[in-house]
Amino acid sequence: MRILAIGDVTSPAGLEHLTKNLWRVREKYRIDFCIVNGENASLVTGISEDAAKLLLRSGADVISGGNHTLRNRSVYSFLDEERAILRPLNFGDAAPGEGFGIFDALGYRMLVINVMGTVYMDPVLDSPFSYIDRVLSEQKGRYDFAVLDVHAEATGEKLAIGYAYDGRVNVIFGTHTHVPTADGRILPEGTGYISDLGMCGESEGVLGMDAECVVEKMRTRLPKKFIQARGPVVADGVIFELNTATGRVVDIERVSF
């Protein structure tokens, strides 16, 4: 089974790029299951219902989220209705939506979990470990394979989660920093891991934002409204090839399109 994970969609331009290209990319790379982190896919901080529906029509099987997902209150009821859109599990049971779901992938039951880290993150949530443990325990026997999106700033935190669930979660990838990392690896017990997928958005800026705005804010420390960057739109992602007989990832390939 070939699983494609795409990094944070940072703008409507990134959303449009996936709308035009994702099905083609799925066909080219023979993708069986696709996860897109879509927490900033709309003009409003977070994701809108329309943007989420468009991503799902355009080739995403699941949309994961992050620290901005719940800032757009207009999407709360939709999160409760649409199981294919996730928000970080460790926001807790009182938050709208779900932090995990089980989806069909080539006839297999794919458990997808979305959590948020705690280091240098806002808001600061409870540690994700107990939440992951609870889902893996409660859903035991109800899924065949598992994928985990760790939306976090610190690579050390992501790596720790990777090793903690090596062999228990088949694919673990990081999101949030918008910069693709070069540490894709297969952990000792067969879990495919990478610290950050990258992003899908305008490439000539600072993490998808206009460089001039970001530099000015950092120089002055004064409030500054960020605007989208310019330049070609690029989508970063990683393909994990999973051996369905053993549950081990056998290959990891970075892609940009």
- Cα 24 from Cα 205, distance rounded (Å): 27
Separation of alpha carbons 169 and 164, rounded Å: 9
Those residues of the chain that have pLDDT short of 70 are 43-44
Measure the CA–CA gap between 129 and 126, rounded to whole angstroms: 9
CB–CB of 111/147 below 8 Å?
yes
What the chain holds in terms of domains, given with CATH numbers, is 2-202+233-256 (3.60.21.10)
Helices 155-164, 128-138: crossing angle, 10 deg rounding: 30
Q: Which of 40, 11, 36 is nearest to 26 (CA)?
A: 36
| E strand map for 25-99 | 33-37, 62-64
Catalytic residues: 68
Q: What is the model's pLDDT at position 209?
A: 82
Copy the structure tokens of residue 157.
Answer: 């935190």
Is the separation of the CB atoms in 28 and 1 below 8 Å? no
Confirm if 198 and 179 have CB atoms less than 8 A apart. yes
The whole-model pTM stands at 0.94
Q: How many residues does the chain have?
A: 257
Q: How far apart are CA 171 and CA 73, in angstroms?
A: 30
Q: Which of 131, 174, 179 is CA-nearest to residue 155?
A: 174
At which residue do the structure tokens 């943007």 appear? 51
Contact 6, 172 (CB under 8 A): no
- The pLDDT of residue 230 is 85
Question: In sequence order, what are the residues at sequence separation of 6 or more whose Cβ sits closer than 8 angstroms to the Cβ of residue 201?
Answer: 8, 9, 10, 11, 13, 14, 178, 208, 228, 229, 233, 234
The predicted structure's pLDDT at residue 44: 58
